[in-house]
Each structure stands twice: as C-alpha cells, then as structure tokens.
Amino acid sequence: MQPPWALDSSTVIRPLEAADASAMFRLIQENRNHLDRWLRWSGSLTSLEKVAEFIDRFQARKSAGEGYHCGIWVNERLAGGQVCWYINRHNQNCEIGYWLGAEFVGRGLATRATITAIEYLFDDEKLNRIEMQCGVQNTRSRAVAERLGFHNEGIRRESHWITSRFVDHVVYGLLVAEWKRESPEAGAD
C-alpha cells in the first residue's frame, strides 16, 4: 500500500509536498548540529528555496516510480523523514534511510517507519534487495538496521562528504527472502 501510512493514532508517514517546505526547513535549522553530523544532504539545505527544490526533486522521483521522501508527522508536526533514495527496477533494489529531529529520537519512530518502508518496497514494489548506509560512528542509526535484520556487508571508506568531512559508511543489505514477516519490536532509535 502506497503512503500515507499511519504508524499509530498520532503518527503518519506521507510524501513531502511543496507546502511542507517551511516545516522541513524549520526542523533542519533547529537541528542543524544534530542532522548535519550524519546526513549527506541536510548541510546543503541552507534556505527555504533549497528545501523547496529538494522536495520538488523527490516529488518527481515519486511520480516516476524512482524513489520518494516522506515526512514523519507526530501530532501533525514534522518529526523527521523516511526516504527511498532510488529504485532500480532492472536490478530490483533500492536504498532507504531515515532522519529525526533530536527531540524525536528514542521513540522507535525510525524503526517503525523503516519496517513500514520495507514492507511496502518488498510487497508492493516487488523489490529483491534493500540497502541502507550508516556512518560508521552513528551507532543509533546502525542499531536500527541491525535490529531489523539487515546484514553488515562492509565499509565504504570516505564514501560521502558530510558537511565538512568525508565519512566512512557501513553498507547494510536485506533480501526479501531474509525479511521476517513478524515485525521486530520497535526499540529506541
């Protein structure tokens, strides 16, 4: 089932729209130190116009069936996002990620949003493989991937320029045949 997805009575995941640019820009600005430490894209979103362009690019990807960027909304307030960077139809794979404002960390939101994305990408999009990349030192993000059964496939050294430095990333992979239909418990993320 395509988004929007309800995680619970107060939490919804839905594709970001042009009208969400202000909320996204505000959340990024309020969490600049928290987000720019790990995200490969937040450091470049330094104006409302750049955030609007970013959302437009993902709306185009979603329309083309090539990925999406959804906001995670808690009580109608943007808490973060769940993203599918690309969908490679020929090879039946994709890369996903997630991000949260600092005050929303530790509530299981990233884990639950990722479970929802996995089920959608395997069941509806009929993909065979989902990949995630996490900064080697980003232990909280890595814990989400490991909790959900992703396999550590190695380290890409200095693979992404993040804000002011290159960061090594752990590559995690999950195959459809490995996905456990009983969703793991949502722990702190």
Q: What is the pLDDT of residues 16-48, one digit of tens each?
A: 999 999 999 999 999 999 999 999 899 899 999
Helices (H), 80-127: 109-119
* Residues 108 and 183 sit within 8 Å (Cβ to Cβ): no
* Residue 164 pLDDT: 86
Burial class (CB in 10 A: 0-12, 13-18, 19+), 180: exposed
Residues in CB range of 84: below 8 A, 6 or more apart:
67, 68, 69, 94, 95, 96, 117, 121
Strands (E), 67-126: 68-74, 77-88, 93-100
**CA-CA distances (angstroms) from residue 142 to 14, 38, 98, 147, 189?**
24, 12, 11, 9, 9
CA distances from 28 to 40, 67, 103 (A): 13, 21, 12
* DSSP secondary structure code for residue 125 in this structure: S
Mean pLDDT value across residues 95-113: 95
Report the mean per-residue pLDDT for the chain.
93
Segment 49-89, tens digit of pLDDT? 999 999 999 999 999 999 999 999 999 999 999 999 999 99
**Cβ proximity of 28 and 35 under 8 Å:** yes
Provide the whole-model pTM: 0.91
Confidence (pLDDT) at 186:
52
Tokens at 142, concatenated: 């890595």
* Phi then psi dihedrals of residue 42, to 5 deg: -65, -35
Task: Give the residue with greater pLDDT, 163 vs 13.
Answer: 13
Per-residue pLDDT tens digits for 87-96: 999 999 999 9
Check residue 184 and give its pLDDT.
56
**188 has a pLDDT exceeding 90:** no
